[in-house]
């Protein structure tokens, strides 16, 4: 742990670079797991034809193709590609926008996971995507905890 005096007259608390790197590495790894879980989730949704039983999925798929299966596949492939790009470029390179992208994915996947569980409960049984929804909740929740802890570590102590 390192205490340092900023030019603005504030005392800050930092952890050593080695510990920060490990935490950042863990965040990047959990983010990648979240994106891979989304990939598995998309495969489950496609295999169980979510686009036929869920009107919003049907609508989005129809915007891309008259063949709903093709449209759904394209949209989900684009989502997975965007997630992998987020991990490979801005997150691994520590771009200033990286934390915002991580929070975007956390909120997206928490909503996605909760939504699938709610739909399964509403229908009284299996609903396409519910089998992998807990993975989304696990990794999104874990990533949210890591992000909250990181924000707490980088806070400035009053002088």
Beta strands in the chain, from DSSP E residues, in sequence order:
2-5, 11-14, 156-157
- Residue pLDDT, tens place only, 4-42: 445 555 655 454 444 444 448 999 999 999 999 999 999
Q: Within 13 A of 153's CA, how many CA atoms are on the CB side? A: 16
Q: Residues of the chain whose pLDDT is less than 50? A: 1-5, 13, 15-23, 156-159
Give the residue numbers spanning the domain of 120: 30-50+84-154
Task: Say if 24 falls within a structural domain.
Answer: no
pLDDT at 17: 42
Task: Say if 63 falls within a structural domain.
Answer: no
pLDDT at 24: 86
Tally of structural domains, the chain: 1
pLDDT at 154: 65
CA 88/CA 80 separation, integer angstroms: 12
Task: Say if 94 falls within a structural domain.
Answer: yes
């Amino acid at each position: 742990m390192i205490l340092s005096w900023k030019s603005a007259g504030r005392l800050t608390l930092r952890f050593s670079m080695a510990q920060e790197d490990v935490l950042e590495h863990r965040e990047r790894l959990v983010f990648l797991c979240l994106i891979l879980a989304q990939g598995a989730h998309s495969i489950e949704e496609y295999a169980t034809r979510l686009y036929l039983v869920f009107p919003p999925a049907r609508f989005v798929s129809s915007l891309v193709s008259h063949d709903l299966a093709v449209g759904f596949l394209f949209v989900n492939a684009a989502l997975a590609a965007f997630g992998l790009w987020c991990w490979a470029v801005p997150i691994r390179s520590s771009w200033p926008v990286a934390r915002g992208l991580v929070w975007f994915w956390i909120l997206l996947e928490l909503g996605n996971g909760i939504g699938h569980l709610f739909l399964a409960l509403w229908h009284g049984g299996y609903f396409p995507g519910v089998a992998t929804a807990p993975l989304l909740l696990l990794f999104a929740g874990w990533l949210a905890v890591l992000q909250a802890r990181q924000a707490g570590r980088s806070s400035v102590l009053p002088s």
